[in-house]
Structure 1
Amino acid sequence: MSDLDIRPAALNDIPAIVAMLADDPLGAQRESPDDLAPYEAAFRRLADDPNQHLMVAVRETRVVGTLQLTIVPGLSRRGATRSIIEGVRVHGDERGSGLGTQLIQWALDESRRQGCHLVQLTSDASRTDARRFYERLGFTPSHVGFKLAL
């Protein structure tokens, strides 16, 4: 995959990112590709925060994958910094190509570079393929998650 470039997302990547976020049963219920204004506002907030890394994988000028890496300084675990991987998506015609592994490897390498001691991620319980993918990469299920809509 030498023709692949993993780079920070740009504002003009937002339509492709949102399309990937919406391209599954869960995302189709919560994403709105027809109204990009809230995504563009969120992008600006992310771009202003040095602990946020919204990345895209680009092949031949086409955005084919994305993820967000958040660096979180903390006091627990003896003051350890951790990272959180979110919003991992691979374009439908790229699934199974190894691209997801390359994106996660980028996130792990960047987490190490930033001095993180722990990497966390969550995946919806209904995404059984994603769970197998993350476990194959060495992640272990360890916590019960809770959400509260505000």
Structure 2
Amino acid sequence: MRAMGDLEIRRATAEDLPAIVSMLADDPLGAQRESPDDLSVYRAALERLDADPNQHLVVAVREDRVIGTLQLTVIPGLSHQGATRALIEAVRIHADERGSGLGSLLIEWAIDTSRQLDCRMVQLTSDKSRTDAHRFYERLGFSATHEGFKLRL
């Protein structure tokens, strides 16, 4: 997909799932909701993502090692004069790579891809407890303009 020096950002495959799920579970919030010991639900989810052209689950790979991931969802819409939006979700960087600039590269990839897909806005959510992540996103130009709400089903 895109190579930057010794780093490649490419579409995730089933072989990447153990590394992705491990990164999703590698923080206090993820540890409560992810199950790295049972990848069957993640395989089924990856099949659904692969079947949907508006879903872009990518990994950052260096020396054949998955060190980062994010999901970019393209959302066609009617509001804002029919604007298409992009939603960034599940940004994770391997613990050994945090602070290396990889997170910025992944977000830049997502923004560039969103532009190429004619999106007029990129949005994301971040748990209220992730204050370091909030500062990171603000440094990249994002603004906290809305209050988010969720209803667990």
- Give the TM-score normalised by the residue count of structure 2: 0.97
Task: Determine helix, strand or coil for the equivalent of 1:125.
Answer: coil
Q: Distance in 2 between matches of 1:64 and 1:101?
A: 13
1:149 to 145, 149, 152: 152
1:44 and 2:47 aligned: yes
The amino acid that maps onto 1:26 is: L
In structure 2, C-alpha distance between the alignment counterparts of 1:143 and 1:34, rounded to whole Å: 36
Task: Tell me the distance in 1 between the aligned counterparts of 2:120 and 2:52.
Answer: 21
Aligned to 1:26: 29
The answer to whether 1:128 aligns with 2:131 is yes
C-alpha distance in 1 between matches for 2:116 and 2:13:
22
Shift of 1:2: 1.1
Query: 3-state SS of the aligned residue for 1:101?
Result: helix
**Aligned match for 1:3, one of 6, 14, 18:** 6
Q: What CA distance in whole angstroms lies between the structure 2 residues aligned with 1:147 and 1:99?
A: 29
RMSD: 0.6
Secondary structure of 1:13's counterpart equals: helix
Alignment partner, residue 71 of structure 1: 74
The one-letter code sitting in structure 2 at the alignment partner of 1:90 is: I
Partner residue in 2 for 1:88 = 91
**Cα deviations across residues 11-53 of structure 1 (Å, max 9, x unaligned)?**
1100000000000000000000001000000000000000000
Amino acid aligned to 1:107: A
**Structure 2 unaligned regions, length at least 5:** none
How many aligned positions are there?
Answer: 150
* Identical positions, percent: 71
Distance in 2 of aligned mates of 1:35 and 1:5: 27
- Unaligned ranges ≥5, structure 1: none
Q: Deviations over 1:33-87 (max 9, x none)?
A: 0010000000000000000000000000000000000000000000000000000
Cα distance in 2, alignment partners of residues 131 and 91 from structure 1: 18
